Structure 1
C-alpha cells in the first residue's frame, strides 16, 4: 500500500488532497457561518462608482475581513436584472473574497442607454477598474485572483470580459443566455422574423428598469450582431482558464452544453458543468448553487 511517506510525489498528492479538503470545508462553512471577528480589519460594504465610457456604474463592493490582499469576484446580473444574486455575493465574501456588483449603463437608474454592446463594454470596464493599482491598494484586491461570476445575460457578459482579458483567473456562468444563439445562421432577409421572435420572447420580462431602448431596438441589435453575440465564439479564449457552467431547467442548457463541449475541444480540461433541476432564478436550489460557486472558487490553482 502506498502511504504519504512512501514517495515525495505521494507526499505532494497527500498535501494537495489536504488542501482540497480544507478548501471544501471552508466553502461549506461560508454557506452558514460568519467568519471569526477581525477587529483590525472587519468586513464592510462600500458604495461604488465604476467609470465606463463617460458614465458611472453604481453598486456595492463587499469587502472581506482581514488585511488582504483578497481574491476578488465580480458578480454580473442578468436581463433586465431583477435577480441580483447578492446571496451568492455574501457567501463568496464569507469565504474570504471581495465581491463587486454594479449595474450596467441604462439599467436600474444608471445614466446612458442600455444595449447589449454597452453591457459588454461595461463588463470590460469593471475588470479594468480592478486592474488599477490605486483601486487594488484602496480595497485590498489581489489582481492575480480576479474571477467573474454572471447569471443569464451576466453569464454572457463574464464570458466576453474574460475572453478579452486573459489575466482573469476563472469564470462562473450560471444559466448563461447565448443572446444571439437562435439567430446565428439566419440570412439578412430574416431580420423582421427574428426581431418579432425576440420581442415575443421578452413578453415575460418587464423592461421598465432599462432606459434608451425597446424590445424592438434590442431585437434589431441582436440580429445585426448575431455573428458576435454568440458565446461559442469565446470558447478558444476561455479555454485557458477554469470555467464552471451551471444549468437549470430553463431552456438554456443546450447552448451551455455546446459551450462546455467547445471548451473541452479546445483543451480546457478544468472546465466543469453542473445541472440543477430548478427554474432560471434557481429559486429552490440557492444553497446548492452557492455551494457549486464556492467549490469552483476554492479549486482555483494557487497564486
Structure 2
C-alpha cells in the first residue's frame, strides 16, 4: 500500500461544498469572538461598566493568604512577609529566623505551619538580602525584638488575624542564636525551637580559652567568610568575629539557661558539627528544672536537605503539643 497525500474531491460547485464553506465561516467567526473576548478579559474595565466580583470574594477575609510589609527597626525598614492561616483566628504565630547568611529560608516549613493553623512571619535582618542598613549580630538581635514588637501592635494583630500572646520563635543555625537571645530577653515568649542552632559566641568563648584573641578572631573570621558574605552589607568577616569576641561572656547559650528554664523548648540537631553544644544546652535546661525540653537528631546535613518532610513533622508535632 502506498502512503501519500489523500485525494481531495472537488466540492466547489456542489451542495456539500457550500455546506462546508458555511461551516468554515461559522467556525472562524467563533474563533474570532473567542479571541476578542480573551483580549477584552485582560483589558481594564470600561468606566461605568458593572463588574462582577469572583464568587470566592465573599469568603476572602478568612482565606489563607500572604501579606508583605516592611518592619521598622532602629531607623531602617526590614523586608518581611507573613503567611496567614485560613480562618477568622486569632491564630498563634511563629517568627521564623534565618541563619548566616540565610541561603536556607525554611519557607517549606512556613507553608506547612500555615496549613496547621499558624501564621508565620519571615523577615530579613538589617543589611541582609536587600534590607537596608548594616548587618551585625547585635543588630540581628535587635531586629528580632523589633519583629516581636511589630506583631504585638493591635492593628497589626487584627490585620494578620494573629494572637500576640502566642508568639513562638523558631530559628535555624544563626537564627537559633537569635532565637535564644530574643527568648531569653522576653519572658512573654513561652516557647522556642532551634534547628541546628549555632552558638557562635559560645564557640568564640571556647576558642578564647585555648588561644590568643587575635588567633581566635582570625579563625572565626575565616569560618564566616567560608559561609558566604555576598548577601550581607556593611560588615566584614573580621568585624563580625571581633563582635563575637566582645560578647563572648554575654551571648553564649549556657548563660541564658536561667532565663529560659521555664519555657517549652524544641532542640533539633544534625550531622553538622553542632550537636555537642546543642545537647549541652538541652542538658543544662533540664538540669535547671525545665521539664518541657524536646530533642531529636537527624542524620542529615546542616540544611536538612534530605530530611525536609521529617523535619516538618517534628516541628508540627511539637507545635501541636504546646499549651493553648
TM-score of Structure 1 vs Structure 2, range by shorter chain? 0.7 to 0.9
Q: Residue 227 of structure 1 is aligned with which of 213, 237, 249?
A: 249
Q: Which residue of 2 aligns with 1:110?
A: 131
Q: Hey, what's the Cα distance between the residues in 1 that align with 2:249 and 2:238? A: 19
Q: Residue 126 of structure 1 is aligned with which of 114, 137, 147?
A: 147
Stretches of structure 1 lacking an aligned partner (at least 5 in a row) = 1-37
| CA drift at 1:191 | 1.9
Q: Which residue of 1 aligns with 2:56?
A: none
Q: Residue 236 in 1 paired to residue 258 in 2?
A: yes
Q: Which residue of 2 aligns with 1:299?
A: 321
Q: Hey, what's the Cα distance between the residues in 2 that align with 1:290 and 1:189? A: 40
Q: Hey, what's the Cα distance between the residues in 2 that align with 1:299 and 1:158? A: 20
Q: Hey, what's the Cα distance between the residues in 1 that align with 2:98 and 2:211? A: 33
Q: Residue 51 of structure 1 is aligned with which of 57, 72, 76?
A: 72
Q: Which residue of 1 aligns with 2:299?
A: 277
| CA drift at 1:199 | 1.9
Q: Is the 8 A contact 2:198 2:274 kept in 1?
A: yes
Aligned length, in residue pairs? 265
Q: Hey, what's the Cα distance between the residues in 2 that align with 1:51 and 1:127? A: 11
Q: Which residue of 1 aligns with 2:203?
A: 182
Q: Hey, what's the Cα distance between the residues in 2 that align with 1:40 and 1:210? A: 37
The alignment's C-alpha RMSD in Å is 1.5
**What aligned pairs does 1:1-303 form with structure 2 within 5 A after superposition?**
41-185=62-206, 186=208, 190-302=212-324
TM-score, length of structure 1 as denominator length: 0.84
Q: Is the 8 A contact 1:144 1:169 kept in 2?
A: no
What stretches of structure 1 move > 6 A for 4+ residues in a row? none
Q: Hey, what's the Cα distance between the residues in 2 that align with 1:187 and 1:284? A: 36
Deviations 1:211-259 (A, max 9, x none): 0101111111111111122111111111111000000000001110111
Secondary structure of the corresponding residue to residue 165 of structure 2: strand
Structure of higher RCO (CA pairs closer than 8 Å, 6+ residues apart) = 1
Q: Is the 8 A contact 1:231 1:259 kept in 2?
A: yes
Q: Hey, what's the Cα distance between the residues in 2 that align with 1:51 and 1:142? A: 20
Q: Is the 8 A contact 1:152 1:176 kept in 2?
A: yes
| CA drift at 1:189 | 8.3
